[in-house]
Amino acid sequence: MEISTLECVVLKMLLTSRSRELLKKIIDAKYPVRVKDLAQEFRVSERTIKYDLDLIKLWLQEHKAELRSQPNKGIWFAGDTAVRTKLRFLLAENHKEDVFLNQRDRVEVIVFYLLSTDAYIAANTLAEKIGVSRNTVVSDLSEVEKFLQSWRLSLARKAGAGIKLEGTEIDRRLTLEYLLQARLSSTDMFEIIEAVMNRKSLTEMNLPEQLLLSPPELDLLLQAVKSLAVRAKELGGFLADRVIIGLLIRLVVVLARVKSHHELPQEAFGRSKYLDLDRSKVFHTCSEVLTELGRRLNVSFPPQEVRYFSLQFIGSNLPFLDGPGVNIQDLPDPAVLVARIIMKVSEAFQWPFSADVELFNNLVAHMSEKLSKYKYGVLEPNPLLGQTIRSYRAMFEEVKTACQEVLSLYEIFLTDSDVGYIVLHFEAARERLAESGQVRVSVVCGTGRGTARLVKSILENELKNLQVIGVYSALEVEKALRDHKVDFVVSVLPLDLDVPVVVVNPIPTKQDLTAILNLMKKLKGRNVGREQEKGFTPIARDELAAQPAGIPDEDLPFIESLTRNIIIKGFELSQLITERFRDYLSERSAAGLSLHLLLMVQRLALGVPYVETGADRYLEPGYPPELRSRLEEVLKTNRITAPEGEINAILRYFYAPERKGEREE
C-alpha cells in the first residue's frame, strides 16, 4: 500500500486504538502471526490490517524498532525483552502526544479528570489536557453523561466555571475501579498475576496520571497483595486470578482516595450493614496487611476503608465470614434468572442449551456469586475479555442482550467483564464433546479454574484424539501428576515438570494447537491412552440423546434402573424437606430447592462432588439455632451423607419465619 509523504508525517504521530491493540498482540505473540488470522480476530478486512501495519511500522521507526515478515510464515516483532517492555509502556501511555485518542478514549480521560477533583473544570481546560479542540470536548460531554448515568453519577454545570461530577464516594470509587479494569489489557492483567504468583516485580501498570501514585508506592501495593496471597494459603484457600487483580485495583483506588482526603464516610460501611464482617479472619488479615502498608506509606487506613477493601474477597474460597453472613435475602433467585437467560440464548442460536444440566448448574453457581458481589459493589476483572469478544463475538452479543433483557427487570446491570465470564460457560457447553480421546493430558493455569477449563473445552473440541483428565493450578499439578498419569501437560504458564509441557495462550491459537498435535503424533509410537483409573464414567447427555443405539443393549437395564432410582429418591427427599421446612420456604424458593435436591441426589449417586462457591457461605441471619441440625437429622434419617457445601446451598433457599410475608412479596 502506497503512503504519501504527507501521510507519513501525520501517521508517525498517530496510533489508533485498534493499531495499538494490534501491535500489543504482535509483541506478545509466541509465534509469527498471519494477516489473515489477525483480520479474523479483529473482525476487519485484510486490507484494513495491512493499512494498520503500515501505520505501526512508521510508529516503530520513530522508536528504533521494527516488525519482520516472511511469506508463508507471518509477521513477528524483532526485539529483545527490554525493547518489548519499553514499547508496552509507550503503548500504555494514552495521554502522550504520539497516541491518537478516539471518542471512547477521550470520554474515559474526561471522566478520570472529573473523578480527580471536587472543583469545576472548564471545557477549555479539558481540551488543553486532552489535546483536542473545545468543540470536540463539548461534543464528547453527551457521551460522558450517558456513561456516568450507568454508574449513578451526574454532571453539574455552572456558568463561567464549567462542569463537575456529582455522586457518592462509593459510586465514584466503583466508577474508578471499572475504568482501571477497562484500561488494563489481557497482557497487563497476566503480568499482575505472574508478578504475584512468581514473586516478581511489576514492570509497569497502566495507571492514569490523575491518581498521582508513584512507582515506589505501586510496588508497595503489589507487595501487600503478595502478602495476602501468602496469607490466603495459610488460611487454607487460594486467590483466583480475578481476585488478585481486583485486590490490586481496589487497593490502588483506596490509596489514591485516602491520599486526596476522600475517605469513605463512617456510615458507608458501618457494622450494622455488614453484620459480623469485623470478626472474620479475612477482615483481620486485611487489617494487619493494610496497617503495615500504611506504616510504610505514612498513611492511615480507617476501619471503613478496611471493610471496603475486604469486600473484594466475596466469592472467594476463604472464610470471609465467621458469623451469620451477609444478608442477601432481597436478591432474585439465581436459578430463575439463569433459566431465562439460557432460554433466550437457546432461541437466538437455535441450540438446545436449555437441556444441558451442567451448563445450568455452573451458571447458577456463577450467578449466585455474581449477585452477591453486585449488591456489595465488588467488580470483577476479566483477563480474557478482549480475547473472548474477538473469538466469540456473536455469542458475546447474544448473551449480553439476554442478560440485559432478563436482569434489567431487577435493576441489575452487568459489565462486559461479567458477560465475558458467562459467555465462556456457554461456549464450553457448545464445545463439550460426547467422547474422550486416547492421548491423556492435564491442563494448568494460575488457579486451575476458569482459564484452564476454557482451554480444556477448546482442546477437546479441536483435537479429537485427546482426553483432558483434569485441570489444575500451578501449585497442584505436581501432586496431581503423582496421582494420575498423563502423556503431557498443556499450560498457560511455563512449568518445569517430569513430563513434556506445551505452553499455550489462554485462548489457544492455531499455532498452539499445531504444537500439541505435533507432540501427539510424536507420541503415537509410545503407549498413549493409558488405562483409566477405576470409577464411574458418566454418559454425556448429547451422546445419550443423539445416539441411543450406541449404548450396548446389555447396559440399558442398568442405566434405566439407576436413573429411575435417582429420580424416585430425589423426588421423595424434595417432598419431605419442602414439607418439613414449609415455614422457611416461599413458593418460588420451594420450587428451586426441589430442583436442587434432585440434582444433589444425582451428584451423590454418581460420586460427582458439589462445587461450593463463596456465595454458599452467605447465609441469612435470623435462623433458629437448631435449623442446621434439623436439616442434617432429616438427611441422616434418609441415609443421605451430604458434604458441607450441599448443606450450605440448601440453607440458602430458607429464610427467617418473621420475614415470610416480606420475602413472598
Determine the 3-state secondary structure of 288 from DSSP: helix
Mean pLDDT for the stretch of residues 77-103? 65
Half-sphere exposure of 381 (CA within 13 A, CB side): 29
> What is the pLDDT, as a whole number, of residue 279?
67
Q: How confident is the model at residue 661 (pLDDT cuts 50, 70, 90)?
A: very low
129/623: higher pLDDT: 129
Q: How confident is the model at residue 624 (pLDDT cuts 50, 70, 90)?
A: low
User: What grid cell was written down for 123?
Assistant: 471545557
pLDDT tens for each residue of 249-308: 899 899 988 988 888 887 665 444 455 566 678 888 888 999 999 999 999 998 888 888
Find which of 91-100, 481-490, 650-659 is predicted with most confidence, using mean pLDDT. 481-490
Examine the pLDDT at 29 and tell me if it is beyond 70. yes
Sign of the torsion formed by the C-alpha atoms of 101, 106, 109 and 110: positive
> What is the pLDDT, as a whole number, of residue 400?
92
Find which of 447-461, 478-492, 545-559 is predicted with most confidence, using mean pLDDT. 478-492
> What is the pLDDT, as a whole number, of residue 92?
61
CA distances to 28, 244, 248, 443 from 446, rounded to whole Å, are 18, 11, 17, 11
Examine the pLDDT at 341 and tell me if it is beyond 90. yes
93/478: higher pLDDT: 478
CB within 8 Å of 324: residues ≥ 6 apart: 275, 276, 619, 620, 621, 622, 623
> Whole-angstrom Cα distance, residue 250 to residue 256?
10
Q: How confident is the model at residue 235 (pLDDT cuts 50, 70, 90)?
A: confident
> What is the pLDDT, as a whole number, of residue 379?
86
Residue pair 390/41 in contact (Cβ under 8 Å)? The answer is yes
What values do phi and psi take at 292, rounded to 5?
A: -65, -40
What are the structural domains of the chain?
5-92 (1.10.10.10), 103-167 (1.10.10.10), 174-313 (no CATH), 334-430 (1.10.1790), 435-539 (3.40.50.2300), 554-664 (no CATH)
**473: amino acid identity, one letter:** S
Examine the pLDDT at 399 and tell me if it is beyond 90. yes
How are beta strands 66-70 and 74-78 bridged, if at all?
antiparallel
Q: How confident is the model at residue 542 (pLDDT cuts 50, 70, 90)?
A: very low
Q: How confident is the model at residue 204 (pLDDT cuts 50, 70, 90)?
A: low
As a whole number, the mean pLDDT across the chain is 75
pLDDT tens for each residue of 564-592: 667 777 777 888 888 788 777 777 677 77
Examine the pLDDT at 125 and tell me if it is beyond 80. yes
CA distances to 80, 149, 358, 559, 639 from 548, rounded to whole Å, are 57, 54, 20, 12, 33
Examine the pLDDT at 315 and tell me if it is beyond 70. no
Q: Which of 32-41, 409-418, 614-623, 647-656 has the lowest mean pLDDT?
A: 614-623
Examine the pLDDT at 2 and tell me if it is beyond 50. no
Alpha carbon 90 to its chain centroid, in Å, reads 27
Mean pLDDT for the stretch of residues 618-628? 58
> What is the pLDDT, as a whole number, of residue 541?
34
Q: What percent of the chain has pLDDT over 90?
A: 6
> What is the pLDDT, as a whole number, of residue 95?
39
User: What grid cell was written down for 46?
Assistant: 485484510
Question: Across the beta sheet with 439-445, what order do the strands follow?
Answer: 466-473, 439-445, 488-491, 501-503
Mean pLDDT for the stretch of residues 234-262? 85
